[in-house]
Chain A
């Protein structure tokens, strides 16, 4: 059996010192296999984004270890692509400049860069918008560009931090379909953080539910059925049952956090 793409071993994360210290994450153990789509869902403040930033190498765990394809994670790098809810794109670069950013940082020559950028522009259906700046695009278009920008770096794993959280419901569904299609087509490994239970079920082949205070893994569920593009989730009994199951689990945590 091959090693997991991403291994997290007894990760703990503390902020602050002494009595003021906050245990943000505790005893996180999680393996993500190649080409898996794992979603993490949980109440706000459960540390799900912090966990993603640890994988990104932007933060360092207080204890435990993280390995990507067997190598310990020491800092940020282009082998882990990240898409944030906002601010992934550089406002001063055009769509072309943004998608080609990582390639130019890695020294890819202009002609080759343009060829790859064109390929990703087609993948996200933004032909004709290559010379626009981010502020001239809708929120949904911006997030598609951010996705293309990340994919163009050919990362081993795609990290997504509530990337569709700021979008309206219709756009969000379209982008979920688009992401699922790209995940299948590009055979990527994805770790996706969301607070939206439906989104977690719609995208993840495995769904991690987190609990708060301290942030820890409450349960991990296999989806066990396929979700087709454009599917009406409401009409799928298995989908509805799993969504309800996870929603109750998350609600328990929300109420526990409030108590």
Chain B
């Protein structure tokens, strides 16, 4: 048997305290539904397939936005690192977009791109792109010049340097940027689905919340947290396998 994961003890204590506070009456239902009620609704929603159906809708949106962000972000980051004029032109724009809370511009995107999926995907892509561009740019700029010289002395042309040296050398940093983007994708996705949608986990939270079904609402929130956690773990495990040449810090 594997050793008991000590790390989850604090989490279990929090859940136990929550349940104890509800059962003893110290925490009224109107303030926070009990953990057992939330768990019961979650199991019911999982059984009925309701969660699965909305997860699929959300996953398609977040996935499309995220993939677009990786493609555009890595390309833009590399071009910025390579061509100074592009960096000087694009950097101020990125710096201005950075502090904007992305959910705040969802209505604007809906005016431009319609209230359908496209505007949601676009805002997810924009939000996810920023950490990826930054990470790619920094990664590509911090490639050790000796590594570039080493490649040139082994016959790599100026044009091939990007693929043979700069991109692989920047991969660990790009991977870290992509990890941040995964979390951002989930946050922006839910916000976008709050504002307008007929399906998706954000829609589910919003409609249960509006209907006063706090236990069901919280169940979806907890499900989302677990989903995000799992995605992150899977991503890291995948990275360690695919990039075993790099010593990851965590």
Task: List residues of A whose CB falls within 8 A of some B CB.
Answer: 53, 56-58, 75-78, 80-82, 84, 86-94, 101-102, 105-106, 133-135, 149-150, 153
Whether the Cβ atoms of B165 and A80 lie closer than 8 Å is no
Whether the Cβ atoms of A80 and B155 lie closer than 8 Å is no
Q: Does B164 contact A (CB under 8 A)?
A: yes
Interface pairs (21), CB distance under 8 Å: A58-B149, A75-B152, A78-B155, A84-B146, A86-B146, A88-B150, A89-B150, A90-B147, A90-B150, A90-B168, A90-B169, A91-B169, A91-B245, A92-B243, A93-B245, A101-B154, A102-B154, A102-B155, A134-B245, A149-B154, A153-B155
Given A92-B168, A133-B245, A135-B245, A87:B147 Cβ within 8 A: yes
Q: Which residue of B has the minimal Cβ distance to A86?
A: B146
The B contact surface, by secondary structure, is helix
Whether the Cβ atoms of A87 and B156 lie closer than 8 Å is no
Task: List residues of B whose CB falls within 8 A of some A CB.
Answer: 144, 146-147, 149-156, 160, 164-165, 168-169, 171, 243-247
Whether the Cβ atoms of A153 and B247 lie closer than 8 Å is no
Whether the Cβ atoms of B153 and A105 lie closer than 8 Å is no
> Nearest Cβ distance between residue B52 and chain A, in whole angstroms?
38
Residues of A within 8 A of B144 (CB): 87
> Nearest Cβ distance between residue A155 and chain B, in whole angstroms?
8
Whether the Cβ atoms of B153 and A78 lie closer than 8 Å is yes
> Nearest Cβ distance between residue A153 and chain B, in whole angstroms?
6
> Nearest Cβ distance between residue A104 and chain B, in whole angstroms?
9
CA distance A89 to B246 in the complex (A): 13
> Nearest Cβ distance between residue A257 and chain B, in whole angstroms?
25
Given A77-B155, A78-B154, A133:B149 Cβ within 8 A: no
CA distance A77 to B150 in the complex (A): 10
Residues of B within 8 A of A94 (CB): 245
Whether the Cβ atoms of B154 and A105 lie closer than 8 Å is yes
> Nearest Cβ distance between residue B2 and chain A, in whole angstroms?
27
CA distance A78 to B168 in the complex (A): 21
Whether the Cβ atoms of A153 and B245 lie closer than 8 Å is no
Residues of B within 8 A of A150 (CB): 153-154
Residues of B within 8 A of A53 (CB): 149
Residues of A within 8 A of B165 (CB): 90
> Nearest Cβ distance between residue B78 and chain A, in whole angstroms?
16
- A91-B246, A149-B154 known; 15 new pairs, CB 8 Å cut-off, are A56-B153, A58-B149, A76-B149, A78-B153, A82-B150, A84-B146, A88-B146, A89-B150, A90-B147, A90-B169, A91-B245, A94-B245, A101-B154, A105-B154, A153-B154
Whether the Cβ atoms of A105 and B147 lie closer than 8 Å is no
- Contacting B171 at CB < 8 Å: which of A76, A82, A92? A92
> Nearest Cβ distance between residue A10 and chain B, in whole angstroms?
25
Residues of B within 8 A of A134 (CB): 245
Whether the Cβ atoms of A87 and B245 lie closer than 8 Å is no
- Contacting A106 at CB < 8 Å: which of B149, B155, B243, B245? B155
CA distance A234 to B101 in the complex (A): 71
CA distance A149 to B169 in the complex (A): 18
> Nearest Cβ distance between residue A89 and chain B, in whole angstroms?
8
Q: Which residue of B has the minimal Cβ distance to A94?
A: B245
